[in-house]
Structure formats: C-alpha cells, structure tokens
Amino acid sequence: MTNHLIYINGKWVGEGLEKMDVINPANHEKIASVPKGGTAEAEHAADAAYEAFQTWSKKTAGERSELLLNWHRLIDENKEAIGKIMTLEQGKPLKEAIGEVNYANGFNLWYAEEGKRIYGETIPASHPNKRILVQKQPVGVVAAITPWNFPAAMITRKVAPALAAGCTVVVKPAGQTPLTALKLAELAEEAGFPKGVINVVTGRSKEIGEAWLKDDRVRKLTFTGSTEVGKQLMQGAARTMKKVSLELGGHAPFIVMDDADVDKAIEGLIGSKFRNAGQTCICTNRVYVQESIASGFTVKLAEAVAKLKIGDGLDGATDIGPLIDQGAVEKVEQHVQDAIDKGARIEAGGKKADADAGFYFEPTVLSGVTEEMMCMTEETFGPLAPIAAFQTEEEAIARANDTPYGLAAYVFTENIGRAIRISEQLEYGIVGLNDGLPSVPQAPFGGFKESGLGREGGHHGIEEFLEIKYISLAF
C-alpha cells in the first residue's frame, strides 16, 4: 500500500489538508487523492532539508553511495508495482512505464558511483610559498520541480546526482502524477536515507514554488517543464541568486536525407514520435524528408503507424495510451485541423477517440505540411507526425534551426560526411544520428536556446549540484 501523503522530515503528513484527486487518463476515474500542500508544508520541508544538509553533506561519498544503491535495489525489486502506479496515473503503456522505471533507476546506480569521483585540483601557484587548491562542495538544499510526462525519471535524474553530491532535496511532483513520486519516497525511506534528506510536497505549485524561490537556504532550483514556467522560475530564483538548471520545451526536427536507410528511419521516428503518445520534450515535432524519397517514405510510415494500437496502458497489446488530459487532446485536434485548413493531407489517424473512453487521440501522419502551420512552430505534445519535404541539405538545416527551441534533433543518413556536417550545424543540445532514442543516464541531456540551461545525466549532471571552492594557501 502506497502512502498518499506528503513526506517531510521522515514523516508522512498532511492528512487533515484539503485533497486533490489523481485521475486515470484511460477512463477518467479517480485513483486516489493527495494533500494540497502549500506555503506551510513547503517551508517545513525546506527547514527539514536545511537541517539534514548539515550532516548529509559531511558523510563520505561511500556512505551516500551505499544508500543510493539500497534505493536502487528496492526500486528494481518493485519495478512492476511502480510501473503500474505510473500507468494508472499517467497513461503510458505498462511496458513503457517499467522501461521508464529502469531508466529512472539507472540514474541512482550511475550517480552512486559518480559521487565517488568528485575530484578537486591543484594548480601551479605564482609564488614558491603558495598553493592553489580547488575543491568541489555540495551547493546546499535543492528544490526539484518535475513534470507529469516522466513521473519517475524526472525525479531521479535530479535527486540522484543531488544526493550523491551531498545535497538534500525538496521535491514537488506534478499534480497529475504524485503517486509515482510518493512511491519513490516510500522506497527511499525504506532504503535508509536519514530524515530530511529527501522531502516530497504535493499540492499548490505556485505557493510551493514561491516558498522555495524566496528561501535563501535553497541554493539550487532544478526544473523540468514548460519554457513559460521555466522563465518565471528563473526570474524568481534571481532574487536569491540560486543556481538553476532548466529542462524546458523542445520542437525537435527529424531530418531524413535521400540516402537514409528508410526502414531504420521509420523505426527511429516511431520510437521518437509515438513513445509516451508523443508527450516527451525530446520527441519529434516536425519531420523533414528529402523530396525525392518523400512520397515513398510517407506511405511506409502511414502503414506502420496504422498498425499501432491505442488503448488502456494496462492492456498488454497497447502501443499508445491516452494523453494526460482533455486539454492535451484538444491541442492535437487543433494542430491537425489547422494543418488541414492550410492544405495538409491526413495519411493516417487524424481523430480523437470516442468521447466516453479516456483522453485518446489516434496516432496521426500528415503530409504536405508547410512552415505556416501551427504544428511546425508550437509543441504539439501528442501523437502527430507532420511531414514536410525539402530539397537540399542547407535548406533542411536552416528550417530545422528556425525555432527558439534547441533541445533534440534527429538526422538519418548513411553518408558519414553528411552526418557529421549536419550534426555540427544543428543548434541543439542533443542530436540523434540514426538514433531515435538517445536518452541514457551517462550522457548529458539538455538544450540550447529557450530549451533550457544546464545538463542532466553523466558527469556533467553532477556539476550542477556542486560549488567550486578555491583555497589559496600561503605559508
């Protein structure tokens, strides 16, 4: 039985608070309710994290690693149960949910090791009786605000490096998916993390965010979500000059050159576009196919997409689950309608499912798409693949870069020179070169331009939770 309460200072609290419901997007049914925490709970959590930081930060890397490994083992033992909670509150197919738990847990394992390698430096001094020492120290209390599309991974990708570095954390999961977060907290408690090291507050986003932003003991904000909210939080964080990491929106182009292996490109596109029903920040938004192969590619893609089965994520045959809510369905519908009104053609899908079912939208392929259409500039966050044809390599690069976003881009070509040339010119933090699924714990994930600041994952990801201290020693 999972706790459906707020977790602060090693205690489950908030029983008497007003509640908010968690809804299953596959059938609109209420699954559970969690407390609507606000300023008081956020402050209480920051107090606990600040106190815990005084001892957690002084533990050895080995001691911290041991607890991360315990957490890793417990999550691994409970991956089916966590996956099921995730499917119920978020909608993604169970096999994808369990896949996410494995991916999420990969950060715990990786940072349990990487925490042992927070090396300093010595630098040659300018005087024989001086020494220059450089140490890295944990930044302090970390506030992590996470979205609903990856209810487990967006937490561990932040929390694991923070804890490994010696920081303590206060987490606010998305209102749509608090249950996965609370389950992870329950397992962290079982793993033996001291009280106050990890705290999870569900409830009113703005109030909780504001309490942490203005608190000068919170030294780091790490956020994944929309660019709009990311900008507001960055402004708020400026008041106390917190370190910030922001993983924001994307508008990923998927470029298919005329020499691409078409089957590989279609497989990559389906993975990138339709995983999580198109609700990932690195998922393909725009498909650019070189004109000479565009019609053949479109027919093949439409055939493959028509075979994808939509349904309840708990049904083992389901490839695509529901979207998160009604607003998400309406956005896809609006993008499809706008494209059709401006001359695009439906090659597969194109409609939402019957109203009584959950928030379903058919996996959709559009052809004849042009840059004036909404789906080419706004994030659809749904199962829509709009295909536009292009003539030259230069044109593809220019169109791909013509956006304020810069998170992920994909390129499919069998020509190695072209592959490198295009990858290097794309203004994106992540390039999938003949690869539709680039996310792994050991690689730096993050965006250029308005897609964010900082990197998560890899040895780069732990730096975000460290301060550099220069000790100048004279003798």
CA angle 228, 231, 236 (to 5 degrees): 130
Strands 243-247 and 218-224: parallel
Minimum distance, C-beta of residue 17 to ligand ADP, in the bound complex (Å): 17
Question: In this complex, which beta carbon is closest to ligand ADP, that of residue 208 or of residue 396?
Answer: 208
Total binding residues toward ligand ADP, as defined by CB under 6 A? 13
Residue 178 lies near ligand ADP (rule: CB under 6 A): no
112, 181, 229, 365: which one contacts ligand ADP (CB under 6 A)?
Answer: 229
64, 79, 136, 172: which one contacts ligand ADP (CB under 6 A)?
Answer: 172
Listed residue (143, 314, 111, 298) closest to 213, CA to CA: 143
Residue 64 lies near ligand ADP (rule: CB under 6 A): no
167 is catalytic: no
Minimum distance, C-beta of residue 39 to ligand ADP, in the bound complex (Å): 12
**Structure-token pair, residue 305:** 């997409």
Could you tell me the strand order of the sheet in which 243-247 lies?
11-13, 6-8, 198-200, 168-172, 141-145, 218-224, 243-247, 452-453
For residue 236, how far is the Cα from the chain centroid?
21
Residue located via tokens 């706790």: 3
Distances from the Cα of 393 to the Cα of 205, 288, 291, 410, angstroms:
44, 11, 11, 14
Question: In this complex, which beta carbon is closest to ligand ADP, that of residue 113 or of residue 378?
Answer: 378
Strands 30-35 and 19-23: antiparallel
CB under 6 A: which stretch of 105-113, 142-150, 294-302, 387-395 binds ligand ADP? Answer: 142-150
Minimum distance, C-beta of residue 265 to ligand ADP, in the bound complex (Å): 28
Rounded to whole angstroms, the Cα distance separating 319 from 37 reads 35
Residue 206 lies near ligand ADP (rule: CB under 6 A): yes
- Active-site position among 247, 393, 456, 464: 247
CB under 6 A: which stretch of 97-105, 221-229, 270-278, 402-410 binds ligand ADP? Answer: 221-229
85, 145, 277, 329: which one contacts ligand ADP (CB under 6 A)?
Answer: 145
Q: Any residues with CB less than 8 A from the CB of 265 and at least 6 apart, and which?
A: 256, 297, 412, 434
Rounded to whole angstroms, the Cα distance separating 164 from 108 reads 9
Rounded to whole angstroms, the Cα distance separating 78 from 70 reads 12
Give Dmax over CA atoms of the chain in angstroms: 79
CB closest to ligand ADP, residue no: 209
Residue 218 lies near ligand ADP (rule: CB under 6 A): no
Minimum distance, C-beta of residue 18 to ligand ADP, in the bound complex (Å): 16
Helix (H) or strand (E) holding 189: helix 178-191
Dihedrals φ, ψ of 214, to 5°?
Answer: -85, -10
Binding string, 335-374, against ligand ADP, x = CB under 6 A? ----------------------------------------
Name the 3-class secondary structure at 111. helix
209, 350, 447, 452: which one contacts ligand ADP (CB under 6 A)?
Answer: 209
Listed residue (194, 193, 182, 244) closest to 218, CA to CA: 244
Question: In this complex, which beta carbon is closest to ligand ADP, that of residue 100 or of residue 347?
Answer: 100
**Structure-token pair, residue 411:** 């390129």
Minimum distance, C-beta of residue 323 to ligand ADP, in the bound complex (Å): 12
247 is catalytic: yes
Residue 146 lies near ligand ADP (rule: CB under 6 A): yes
Minimum distance, C-beta of residue 195 to ligand ADP, in the bound complex (Å): 24
CB under 6 A: which stretch of 37-45, 140-148, 294-302, 397-405 binds ligand ADP? Answer: 140-148
Residue 326 lies near ligand ADP (rule: CB under 6 A): no
Residue 6 lies near ligand ADP (rule: CB under 6 A): no
- Please state the length of the chain: 475
Listed residue (81, 51, 13) closest to 3, CA to CA: 13
- Active-site position among 100, 186, 207, 281: 281
Residue 214 lies near ligand ADP (rule: CB under 6 A): no
Residue 232 lies near ligand ADP (rule: CB under 6 A): yes
**Structure-token pair, residue 392:** 């030259």
Residue 159 lies near ligand ADP (rule: CB under 6 A): no
* Site residues, ligand ADP (CB under 6 A): 145-147, 172, 174-175, 205-206, 209, 225-226, 229, 232
As annotated, the active-site residues are 247, 281
